[in-house]
A = this chain, B = another copy of it.
Amino acid sequence: MRDFTFYNPTRVEFGQGKENKIGAYMAEYGVKKVLLVYGSERIKKDGLYDKVIQSLGEQRIEYVTLGGIKSNPVISKAREGVALAKENGIDAVLAVGGGSVLDTAKVIAAGAVYDGDVWDLCSYRKMPDSALKLFDILTLSATGSEMNSSAVITNEETTEKFGFSSPVAFPTVSVINPELQATVSPNYLAYSSVDILSHCMDLYFTASYIPEFTANHIENIIKTVIRTTDTLRAQPENYEARSEFAWAAAQALNRSTFAGVEGNRYDSHLIEHSLSALYDVPHGAGLAVVYPAWTRWHMSANQARYKQFARNIFGLETAEAGIEALTNWFTHIGAPITLEQIQVGSEQIEEIADHIYSTMEMARMQTMYSKDILVELLHQMK
């Protein structure tokens, strides 16, 4: 194994009804006044909002709210949250929602203790060195944000989609009650599956070295996501499948898949972030479009690994057959696999390539792809 650091202090409270204890969990850490961040008003209709407010009330924790976080979250909302936190003397942030709500809450938690503009912390100008304590109740398992220290957010003025990764941004307690995800739509189930798989596959395909133990761990996550997604398409109420899906999603990006690995990159995410930043495509849908073309292009760089993928995930013999099976499975679950399916035309390819390239420059990764290769790759996604 190559040298590594493993550190993940997030306490995961997993299971039915645990959202009712959120106030008690926060009280354990001395929280007095919280900023409650959420997405749509749906949580008021389905009763989750009331449960949270009641649980806070039981512990006499005061709260201020910030609703309306959308997918592909934007920095203007985070700025709003930072202002609220500063004005109200907030001592913790509680995210109730999926990855977008959580990432916004992470940015707010870091911004609330930072003197400058919070976008500094997301654009590689300044790394967060402290943050308010963050708690969350997860309503959609996909991004893995519930068990890691990263946040990604879009600056809608510049269309930059950046973020940070810092040990101060780990959630203190993440509540994962799989029941809360039983009403996720088939489309969002598909996008979430693709996102989780891509967290595993980007690493699996790009790493120059993966220890056998870690490769098996990654394959276990991939197989669990495929198996449980198939079950959940037929039986959305299947708690067993829902819970394994949720736990696999958290494992996929909690750094357990990095143990002893060398040379991994996040290519599909790099490319996709431009699609969602420019056209507000759901992140998982964008990834499903990127994957078939990107893997076919990348395959020759790591033939043995793609063969291992074909064999261990789909029981097939060749690298090509593995990618074909994956592509077919995306279609089977209703994920798009072409730019056309997400309403992006050929005439936009130059713009996308430029956007990816400038993102790479910003993150000092511009040696990864030339602009010509990006254009060629994007044409293969048509």
Could you list which residues of chain A lie within 8 angstroms of chain B, going by C-beta atoms? 1-16, 18, 178, 211-213, 216-217, 220-221, 223-224, 227, 240, 243-244, 247-248, 256, 259-260
Contacts and interface: CB of A to CB of B under 8 A. Distances in A.
B16 A7 contact: no
Contact of A217 (B11, B217, B240): B217
B15 A247 contact: no
A8 B16 CA distance: 21
A252 to B, nearest CB: 11
B6 A243 contact: no
Contact of A260 (B18, B211, B213, B243): B243
Nearest to A147: B6
Contact of A213 (B5, B12, B224): B224
A250 to B, nearest CB: 9
21 contacts: A1-B14, A3-B14, A3-B18, A4-B14, A5-B12, A5-B13, A6-B14, A7-B10, A7-B11, A7-B12, A8-B8, A9-B9, A14-B259, A211-B247, A212-B224, A213-B220, A213-B221, A213-B224, A216-B220, A217-B217, A247-B259
Contact of A244 (B1, B16, B220): B1
Nearest to A12: B6
Nearest to A211: B244
Contacts of A18: 3
Copies in the complex: 2
Contact of A15 (B2, B13, B240): B2
B244 A213 contact: yes
Contacts of A240: 1, 211
A297 to B, nearest CB: 31
Contacts of A216: 220, 223-224
Nearest to A17: B3
B1 A243 contact: yes
Nearest to A227: B212
A247 B213 contact: yes
Contacts of A211: 240, 243-244, 247
A279 to B, nearest CB: 35
A1 B243 CA distance: 6
A134 to B, nearest CB: 15
Contacts of A256: 256
Contacts of A12: 5-7
Contacts of A223: 216
B5 A14 contact: yes
Contacts of A213: 220-221, 224, 244, 247-248
A249 to B, nearest CB: 11
Contacts of A9: 7-9
A31 to B, nearest CB: 17
A3 B259 CA distance: 26
A45 B110 CA distance: 48
Contacts of A5: 11-14
Contacts of A259: 14, 247
A139 B15 CA distance: 37
Nearest to A248: B213
Best-buried of A4, A5, A213, A221 by chain B (most CB within 10 Å) = A213
A244 B7 contact: no
A213 B141 CA distance: 16
Contacts of A1: 14-15, 178, 240, 243-244, 247
Nearest to A10: B7
Nearest to A209: B240
Nearest to A15: B3
